């Protein structure tokens, strides 16, 4: 079981930030990558501070398709090494956070005779590459067994299916578990405290300036090494660094938008996910049972801007609903949508000036060390966050930015909340509840308000726990990322904002920004109106 979590009272965290001294490592960005780096470094005994301008996993890291996977489609690209690494990391993640990451069976229905042997061969190879890390054997299902697994799959022309295994997870709560585990190992992790300036001396990066969003207080921090893990926003910090030392750089990130649609589970009941390997325009589509709802997605649309709250384009929603309708008896309509969300993927493009070169536009991660010593990491995916973190630390050691510390232990380090492995976790396809807290469930239900059910599986006790132990400051923090209600039923989330905000105000004494969240929830719900 992981070490008990550190205190999260914001006043204490800010006092610690103000104490001065030199940190071994300062991490900018509180998404999957930054949190993974902070945990890896802190678990090696390094002094670590992580600063996030908004909330942990506010951006892309809370907007995944909720899959922990080896990358079936990468097999077709011949990237065997990448698939092997991801399959290994899949096993590690499922072992270290079994309450938040679990195996899930996927069914690939076939409607043409050639599809069964063609896709089956690839999925059998997936099993072979997984080896002892496999989650279950790939099976060829008859038409009858396919309809038993996918009761609402379109029966006309159905030949059979292939069932294989991958994983699913709760991305935002996993990010929170990383933050709290890093804190338990001595790291100072702080949300709503953005980096406003990098500090240089004689052409070398020496630290940064941070600003607390709630009070406006500024802090000057000295650090031996600064890691830029700001996701799709890494280029902003790279440009600031380059300007300070007089060496311009080209952007390294080409953002791509992925849209997800949530509908009720009756569109696809049961415990299996549906995988469409090739849609009408050559993409992959999933229908994934998750926390009592069904996720449909995703898309892959390039965009030039970097909004904090990207919204889907009309053609993307049309595509998802249309393609889902080709495989389901009842096609979902716009009025059936409970929520939509969009993630911006930080795809990496070639960089040849000022930093080490990258080779091609890639979904996988890249680590660059600038001439001043700024370490930037971009790309990658949730499944391999831990391996990415090890790679970042290795680059820091090799560049002489950090003293080579003890060997990493994150491969076998349970995250905060990890239950006894002998206990069978509640499936993540089930509606939200105390099971998502793992070994901390008893602490949650012991708080005042456990019997006060607000809706969507959320209780007053959970709101209090989020404020006291999970760094929650706003209604959005609770309703989007401590609970996942915004992503499951945006209209309900908007209706609960006032009550959640009142509880947060009692706990924190700060403005929970209820009206701002109600506007956000309305945009996720589309045409829904809140009273």
Question: Are 337 and 475 found together in one domain?
Answer: no
- Please give the mean pLDDT across all residues of the chain: 93
Domain-terminating residue out of 412, 442, 461: 412
Average pLDDT over residues 491-501: 98
Question: Are 210 and 315 found together in one domain?
Answer: no
Q: What is the CATH number of the domain that holds 190?
A: 3.50.50.60
Would you say residue 479 has pLDDT above 70? yes
Domain-terminating residue out of 323, 345, 367: 345
Query: For 420-456, what is each residue's pLDDT tens digit?
Result: 876 678 999 999 999 999 999 999 999 999 999 999 9
- For the chain, what is the radius of gyration of the CA atoms? 23
Would you say residue 527 has pLDDT above 90? no
Would you say residue 194 has pLDDT above 60? yes
Q: Out of 152-156, 247-251, 287-291, 493-497, pick the least confident.
A: 247-251
Question: Are 115 and 222 found together in one domain?
Answer: no
pLDDT for position 359? 39
Domain-located, residue 420: no
> φ, ψ for residue 273 (rounded to 5)?
-90, 155
Question: Are 229 and 272 found together in one domain?
Answer: no
User: 494 near 528, Cβ under 8 Å?
Assistant: yes
CA distance 477 to 487: 12
Q: What DSSP character marks residue 362?
A: B
**Count of structural domains within the chain:** 3
Element holding 519 (H helix, E strand): helix 514-525
Question: Are 332 and 458 found together in one domain?
Answer: no
Q: What is the CATH number of the domain that holds 137?
A: 3.30.9.10
Question: Are 246 and 258 found together in one domain?
Answer: no
User: 41 near 50, Cβ under 8 Å?
Assistant: no
Q: Which residues contact 164 (CB under 8 A, 6 or more apart)?
A: 72, 105, 106, 108, 123, 126, 127, 136, 138, 139
Domain-located, residue 138: yes
Domain-located, residue 426: no
Element holding 14 (H helix, E strand): helix 10-17
Would you say residue 3 has pLDDT above 50? no
Name the pTM for this structure: 0.95
The better pLDDT of the pair 281, 440 is held by 440
> Inter-axis angle of helices 32-43 and 385-398, to 10 degrees?
60
Range of the domain at 406: 10-60+173-252+349-412
Numbers of helices and strands, H then E, in the chain: 16, 20
């Amino acid at each position: 079981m992981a070490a008990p979590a550190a205190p999260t009272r914001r006043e204490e965290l800010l006092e610690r930030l103000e104490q001065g001294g030199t940190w071994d490592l300062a991490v900018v960005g509180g998404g999957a990558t930054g949190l993974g780096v902070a945990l890896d470094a802190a678990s090696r005994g390094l002094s670590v501070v992580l600063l996030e301008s908004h909330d942990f996993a506010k951006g892309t890291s809370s907007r995944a398709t909720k899959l922990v996977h080896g990358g079936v489609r990468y097999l077709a690209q011949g990237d065997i090494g990448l698939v092997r690494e991801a399959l290994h990391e899949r096993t590690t993640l499922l072992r270290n956070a079994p309450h938040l990451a679990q195996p899930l069976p996927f069914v690939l229905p076939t409607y043409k005779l050639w599809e069964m042997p063609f896709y089956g061969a690839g999925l059998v190879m997936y099993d072979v590459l997984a080896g002892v890390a496999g989650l279950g054997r790939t099976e060829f299902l008859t038409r009858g067994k396919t309809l038993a697994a996918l009761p609402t799959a379109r029966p006309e022309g159905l030949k059979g299916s292939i069932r294989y295994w991958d994983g699913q997870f709760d991305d935002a709560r996993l990010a929170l578990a990383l933050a709290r585990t890093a804190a338990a190992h001595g790291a100072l992790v702080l949300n709503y405290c953005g980096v406003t300036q990098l500090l240089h001396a004689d052409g070398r990066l020496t630290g940064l300036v941070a600003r607390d969003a709630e009070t406006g207080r500024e802090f000057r921090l000295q650090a031996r090494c600064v890691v830029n893990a700001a996701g799709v926003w890494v280029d902003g910090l790279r440009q600031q660094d380059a300007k300070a030392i007089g060496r311009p750089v080209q952007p390294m990130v080409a953002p791509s938008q992925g849209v997800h649609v949530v509908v009720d589970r009756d569109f696809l009941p049961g415990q299996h996910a549906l995988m469409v390997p090739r849609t009408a325009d050559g993409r992959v589509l999933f229908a994934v049972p998750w926390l009592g709802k069904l996720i449909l997605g995703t898309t892959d649309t390039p965009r030039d801007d970097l909004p904090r709250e990207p919204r889907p384009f009309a053609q993307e929603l049309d595509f998802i609903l249309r393609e889902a309708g080709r495989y389901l008896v009842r096609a979902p309509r716009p009025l059936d949508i409970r929520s939509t969300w969009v993630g911006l993927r930080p795809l990496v493009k070639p960089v040849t000036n000022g930093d080490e070169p990258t080779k091609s536009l890639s979904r996988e991660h890249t680590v660059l060390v600038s001439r001043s010593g700024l370490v930037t990491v971009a790309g990658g995916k949730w499944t391999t966050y831990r391996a990415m973190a090890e790679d970042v630390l290795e680059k820091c050691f090799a560049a002489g930015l950090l003293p080579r510390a003890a060997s990493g232990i994150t491969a076998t380090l349970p995250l905060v909340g990890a239950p006894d492995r002998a206990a069978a976790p509640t499936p993540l396809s089930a509606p939200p509840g105390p099971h998502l807290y793992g070994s901390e469930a008893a602490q949650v239900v012991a708080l005042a308000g456990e019997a006060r059910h607000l809706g969507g599986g959320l209780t007053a006790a959970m709101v209090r726990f989020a404020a006291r132990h999970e760094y929650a400051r706003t209604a959005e923090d609770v309703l989007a990322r401590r609970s996942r209600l915004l992503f499951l039923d945006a209209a309900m989330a908007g209706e609960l904002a006032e009550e959640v905000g009142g509880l947060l105000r009692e706990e924190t004494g700060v403005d929970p920004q209820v009206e701002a969240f109600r506007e956000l929830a309305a945009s996720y719900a589309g045409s829904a109106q809140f009273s």
